[in-house]
């Protein structure tokens, strides 16, 4: 590789772009897929994403009355589930940097009649606009890999969590077996953009997704990053052969 990466560039899939540019490029990707995002999720993961999320919710240990932030929450899958968990005395914030995703999410939550204890807010994971020590649990599902400065985002999450509060990062990771890894590469680099093309008429966005998955830190690296942000009791669970992993950290 002969890329001359300086400090002010960052990954955009396999390309390198200027740091200021990445957020805009990521936004374009999600703008273009927002309306059909849920269908794509089901088709691409064969429905598995629902099980990954189900286990994430269980690991959260969230109880009635608590406050939960789902950042990079997109169309609100997790927020809807948390809304039932925390009940009328609790509060769920569905936050995302992208207005198009949030508006699809808001419509879906209204359809489900789930809005009473949920608020929807546009926010960047790196600069969370919430008070210190105010949140019981933060989840970020398939979102961290899109964030320009992941360490900054993790520190920002740490800041707003209450002591004893929990962070859960659900993200694509590194398959544990080489065979699975190859099959998965073939799938994500050819089948995925192809399906993206058919459904949302946007193969490039899904190529970006495949590339960003490859560029995302593996299990151990992400675990270190979570620890570096100050979290304690950090651990991860592999799911579906390590295609995805849930990392958990607690604010001490």
Q: Point out which residues bind other proteins (CB under 8 A).
A: 39, 42-43, 46-48, 50-52, 54-55, 58-59, 61, 63, 198-199, 237-241, 244
3-class DSSP assignment, residue 116: coil
CB of 54 to other proteins, least distance (A): 5
Q: Distance between CA atoms of 11 and 148, rounded to whole angstroms?
A: 8
Footprint on this chain of ligand SAM (rule: CB under 6 A): 26, 30, 41, 71-74, 77, 96-98, 101, 124-126, 141-143, 146-147
Residue 33 contacts residue 198 (beta carbons within 8 Å)? no
**Nearest residue (CB) to other proteins, 43 versus 191:** 43
User: Which residue is associated with the tokens 């926010």?
Assistant: 123
Q: Look at residue 143 and give the partner it binds from other proteins, ligand SAM, none, a contact being a CB closer than 5 to 8 Å depending on partner kind.
A: ligand SAM
Q: Look at residue 97 and give the partner it binds from other proteins, ligand SAM, none, a contact being a CB closer than 5 to 8 Å depending on partner kind.
A: ligand SAM
Q: What number of other Cβ atoms are within 10 A of residue 230's Cβ?
A: 15
Cα separations (Å) of 7 from 11, 85, 149? 11, 43, 12
Q: Look at residue 83 and give the partner it binds from other proteins, ligand SAM, none, a contact being a CB closer than 5 to 8 Å depending on partner kind.
A: none
CB of 57 to other proteins, least distance (A): 9
Reduced 3-state DSSP string for 39-59: HHHHHHHCCHHHHHHHHHHHH
Q: Look at residue 96 and give the partner it binds from other proteins, ligand SAM, none, a contact being a CB closer than 5 to 8 Å depending on partner kind.
A: ligand SAM
Question: Which residue has its beta carbon closest to ligand SAM?
Answer: 74
Closest CA to 195 of 6, 39, 11, 23: 39
**Nearest residue (CB) to other proteins, 132 versus 220:** 220
Residues 6 or more apart whose Cβ sits within 8 Å of residue 103 = 34
Closest CA to 136 of 216, 69, 41: 69
CB of 52 to other proteins, least distance (A): 6
DSSP label of 16: E
CB of 250 to other proteins, least distance (A): 12
CB of 24 to ligand SAM, least distance (A): 11
Q: What number of other Cβ atoms are within 10 A of residue 152's Cβ?
A: 15
CB of 60 to other proteins, least distance (A): 9
């Amino acid at each position: 590789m002969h890329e001359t990466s300086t400090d002010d560039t960052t990954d955009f899939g396999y390309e390198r772009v200027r740091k200021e540019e990445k957020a805009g490029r990521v936004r374009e990707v999600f703008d273009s897929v927002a309306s059909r995002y849920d269908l794509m999720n089901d088709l691409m993961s064969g429905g598995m994403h629902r099980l990954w999320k189900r286990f994430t919710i269980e690991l959260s240990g969230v109880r009635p009355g608590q406050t939960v932030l789902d950042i990079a929450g997109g169309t609100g899958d997790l927020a809807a589930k948390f809304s039932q968990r925390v009940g009328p005395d609790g509060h769920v914030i569905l936050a995302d940097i992208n207005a198009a995703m949030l508006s699809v999410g808001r419509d879906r939550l209204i359809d489900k009649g789930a809005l009473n204890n949920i608020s929807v807010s546009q926010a960047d994971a790196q600069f969370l606009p919430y008070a210190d020590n105010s949140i019981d649990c933060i989840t970020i599902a398939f979102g961290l890999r899109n964030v320009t400065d992941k360490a900054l985002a993790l520190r920002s999450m740490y800041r707003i969590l209450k002591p004893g509060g929990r962070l859960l990062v659900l993200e694509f990771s590194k398959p544990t077996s080489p065979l699975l890894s190859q099959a998965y590469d073939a799938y994500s680099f050819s089948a995925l953009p192809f399906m993206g093309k058919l459904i949302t008429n946007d193969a490039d966005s899904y190529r970006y997704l495949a590339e960003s998955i490859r560029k995302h830190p593996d299990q151990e690296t992400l675990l270190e990053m979570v620890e570096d942000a100050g979290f304690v009791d950090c651990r991860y669970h592999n799911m579906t052969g390590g295609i995805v992993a849930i990392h958990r950290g607690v604010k001490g």
